[in-house]
Amino acid sequence: MKMRAVVCTAFDGMESLSLGEIDAPRPGPGEVLIDVHACAVTFMDALMVAGKYQMRPPLPFVPGSDAAGVVAAVGDGVTRFKPGDRVSCGSWFGSYAEQMVASEHLTARLPDAVDFVTGSAVRHGYGTAHYGLVVCAAVQPGETVFVSGAAGGVGLAAVDLARHLGARVIAGVGSPEKAALVRDRGACEVVDYCRENLRDRIKAITDGRGVDVCFDNVGGEVFTAMTRQMNWGGRMLPIGFTSGEVPSVAVNLLLLKNYSIVGAFWGAWTQRFPHQSAAADAQILDWVAQGRLRPHVSQTLPLSDFRAALQTVTKRQAQGRVVLLVR
């Protein structure tokens, strides 16, 4: 059986991608086959096809990590799902296609109140935010959380979730047109670090105390500046490096404020702790269904416009998620 899919044939970025027909996948033991209705486009996808991510799939491969759709078949040993179930799912790659395979533990039941477009935009962003803020940083009500890259897919999810957890949220953005959206999702203060001095603004906003949690998607100069703006006992979470620069840290700063830097690689955690990850996915989607969390999809495009979608993400023009419509 053939299916439409975007295929990557070399680690050369978007130039190596094409839309064509390939053999449809089959679920193995513990796996679920999903008829994809919508798939989210992430910065990780762009890194993956350029060969710049932590892992390289065997070539050729179908890019794309997050999707939502309907279960078509299940492999041996799968007990949580059956054909016809509406689900949100994820994998390292494979979602830019009419069908994808995902582990049972990386698949979550999609509540009736959540449509496929929204469902495809939840797992990666909110899963990363939940792992960082809840599991790694144990954010408490009343704490101050700074989120960089706050209007992107992961950043906006972190703003939304931190607000839900009762934190005071400071959102860092790279352009003024992103301020309204992050305020709408719960940011009390917004810092445009391309036009304002980040250290001075954080110091002023926090009356010199600094922030309790730094959820950093950008790296580079933003991360370096925030190493001097942490409160006593704070937690810095390096999430990603969209600036392209991996920063170094003067570790004496950690000693002076007794704060910690905690790696927050959600994808690795989901593989090491699949049951906890599945429980987190279910909780997040329940909050979405109840309206307590509000994923934002700024643009939907047909699968054939995958290049335009990836360019929007890589140029950091996306607000929230960009989603490809497959069916």
Tell me the C-alpha distance between 300 and 119, whole Å.
Answer: 13
Q: Give me the architecture of the 128-266 domain, per CATH.
A: 3-Layer(aba) Sandwich (3.40)
Q: What is the pTM of this model?
A: 0.94
Peptide bond into 274 cis (omega under 30): no
Compute the chain's Rg from CA coordinates.
19
Tell me the C-alpha distance between 238 and 219, whole Å.
Answer: 7
SS3 breakdown of the chain: % helix, strand, coil, rounded to 5?
35, 30, 40
Q: Is the pLDDT of residue 244 over 90?
A: no
Distances in Å between the Cα of 188 and the Cα atoms of 43, 181, 197, 201 are: 26, 12, 18, 13
Q: Is the pLDDT of residue 260 over 90?
A: yes
The answer to whether 212 and 143 are in contact (CB under 8 A) is: yes
Tell me the C-alpha distance between 234 and 275, whole Å.
Answer: 28
The answer to whether 239 and 216 are in contact (CB under 8 A) is: yes
Rounded to the nearest integer, the mean pLDDT of the chain is 96
Q: Which two tokens stand for residue 114?
A: 């959540």
Instruction: Kindly indicate whether the domain formed by 2-121+296-325 is annotated with CATH number 3.40.50.2300.
Output: no
Tell me the C-alpha distance between 166 and 324, whole Å.
Answer: 33
Q: Give the model's pLDDT for residue 160.
A: 98
The answer to whether 33 and 90 are in contact (CB under 8 A) is: no
Q: Give the model's pLDDT for residue 316.
A: 84
Q: Give the model's pLDDT for residue 245.
A: 82
Q: Which two tokens stand for residue 68?
A: 């939502």
Higher pLDDT, 68 or 249: 68
Q: Which two tokens stand for residue 191?
A: 């810092």
List Cβ neighbours of 190 (8 Å cut-off, separation of 6 or more).
150, 170, 171, 172, 173, 179, 182, 183
Tell me the C-alpha distance between 246 and 260, whole Å.
Answer: 18
Encode pLDDT of 13-34 as tens digits.
999 999 999 999 999 999 999 9
Q: How confident is the model at residue 207 (pLDDT cuts 50, 70, 90)?
A: very high
DSSP 69: E
Encode pLDDT of 45-85 as tens digits.
999 999 999 889 999 999 999 999 999 999 999 999 999 99
Q: Give the model's pLDDT for residue 124.
A: 94
Q: How confident is the model at residue 243 (pLDDT cuts 50, 70, 90)?
A: confident
Q: Which two tokens stand for residue 126?
A: 């909110």
Peptide bond into 176 cis (omega under 30): no
Q: Give the model's pLDDT for residue 247.
A: 86
The mean-pLDDT minimum among 37-41, 154-158, 165-169, 244-248 falls in 244-248
Q: What percent of the chain has pLDDT over 90?
A: 93
Tokens 């690689």 label which residue?
Answer: 265
Q: Which two tokens stand for residue 315?
A: 């140029």
Q: Give the model's pLDDT for residue 54.
A: 85
Name the residue ranges covered by the structural domains of the chain.
2-121+296-325, 128-266
Question: Stretch 193-203: mean pLDDT, rounded?
Answer: 95
Q: Is the pLDDT of residue 208 over 90?
A: yes
What are the helix (H) ranges across 121-193? 123-130, 153-164, 179-184
Q: Give the model's pLDDT for residue 323.
A: 98
Torsional class of 166: left (φ above 0), alpha (ψ -120 to 50), beta (otherwise): left
Quick check: helix, strand or coil at residue 285? helix
Q: What percent of the chain has pLDDT over 70?
A: 100
Higher pLDDT, 315 or 326: 326
Q: Is the pLDDT of residue 131 over 90?
A: yes
Q: Give the model's pLDDT for residue 241.
A: 87
Tell me the C-alpha distance between 105 and 88, whole Å.
Answer: 11
Q: Report the relative pairing of strands 168-173 and 17-23 from DSSP bridges.
A: unpaired
